Structure formats: C-alpha cells, structure tokens
Amino acid sequence: MAKGKKKSKSKARPKKTKKKKKSFLLFPKFFQKWSLIFIGLFALLGLLASLNFPRLTMEKNMTSTDETTVAFIAEIGETSRYLAARNDLYASVMIAQAILESDSGQSSLSQKPSYNFFGIKGDYNGQSVTLPTWEDDGKGNPYYIDAAFRSYGSVENSLQDYVDFLEGSYYVGVHRSKTKNYKDATAALTGVYATDTTYGDKLNSIIEQYQLTIYDTY
C-alpha cells in the first residue's frame, strides 16, 4: 500500500509541472494579443474624440441662450448654405446676421407671421409691421424710431428675400467674389446694412463663437 502511494505521487508531480509550464508559456501570448486590441480601441476612441472636440466643447459650455441659438442655427443653417452658395454670399455671415438681428429667432419681429430675421425695413408684397427700433447716429450714440418692417409669412420667404436684398450694387462688397474672406464682408456691411458702428465686430464674434464657417463649404 505504501509503495503504491509513492508511485501515484511520483506520477502526479510531473503532470502538474507540465500544466504549469504550459499555462505560463501561453499567458504572455494571450496577454499580448488582447493588449494590442485594447491599444487599437483606445487609439480609435482618441481619434473620434479629437474630431468631435469643438462640438463637445461648445456643448459643455452651453448656456440656455446658446441652446436657443444652436437650435435656431439648426433651423436655418442648411437653407442658408444653399441660398448663399447660389448667390455668391457667405452663409456664415447670413446666419450671423439672422442671429444678431432676430435675437436667435426670439424677437417679436422674427415671430409668426412676420418671420423677419434680418431686420429689413419696408414691405414685402405689400405686407409690413411697424415696430420701435434703435439706430446709431454714426458716432456710437443710439436713438429710437418707429419703422415699418417687412412681413414675410414664412421662414423661406425671409431667407430668400435676404439674398435678393443683397443683389444690388449697394452691397457688392459683401459678395464672395469681391472679398478674400467673411471678415471683408462683415466690414462692408458695417455702416451700410446697419448704422451700428460695431456691427462687423459683432458678426465676427458670432461667427467665431458658433463656428459658422462650416456653412461656407458646399
């Protein structure tokens, strides 16, 4: 009995040793394989994060006012891109003007039924609405007047009338073919489209804040 036990023990030891050696040799290969997979996944996630960084940063720092503006940009952005491209204009400037003039679509003039996003005075097909507005005397001093503004009846009419309004020779300086970049266009609008002496600076700030130049590609 004792001899039999010794034999079973001597047979068991080599088997255990072989198993340990086998698993020890396989473990590094297993580890290396999954390490490469994880490294690849992290690299891919890093690339995706870098591509989305501007949008994510903007969303992180977004206030309620910013959210309203982003929603307004989403509403008019693609139509503005299309119309601007067909009419030699900067969509970034067009959208920035709409944001500034209409308070991101929240002003009474930009609401239904007028949909006047650009503060254009006069009438549209005989339709207008009279509202108080402030002007600049050219020296930075504001004063208020009552003025008639165009009433469009739809968002599409408002956007289309804007590009038609800028077709005249009076606004030739805002066209893409006559400028090097959008800042030349905003400078050309200052004191011409609006009496505000800081009009161009305000538009540039909006364009930069909301990265509107992405709408200048088509």
pLDDT digits (tens, 9 = 90+) for 88-114: 999 999 999 999 999 999 999 999 999
Is the model's pTM score more than 0.75?
A: no
Residue 45 has pLDDT above 90, yes or no: no
pLDDT digits (tens, 9 = 90+) for 52-95: 544 444 545 556 678 999 999 999 999 999 999 999 999 999 99
Q: What is the CATH number of domain 72-216?
A: 1.10.530.10
What does the alpha-carbon distance between residue 142 and residue 113 come to, in Å, rounded to a whole number? 28
* Pair of tokens at residue 94: 């067009």
Report whether 101 contacts 127 (CB < 8 A).
Answer: no
Q: Which residues are catalytic?
A: 135, 161
Closest CA to 150 of 179, 178, 118: 118
Tell me the pLDDT band of 118, cut-offs 50, 70 and 90.
Answer: very high
Annotated domain spans of the chain: 72-216
- Identify which has the larger pLDDT, 134 or 206: 206
Report whether 115 contacts 152 (CB < 8 A).
Answer: yes
| Per-state percent for the chain, helix, strand, coil, to nearest 5 | 65, 10, 25
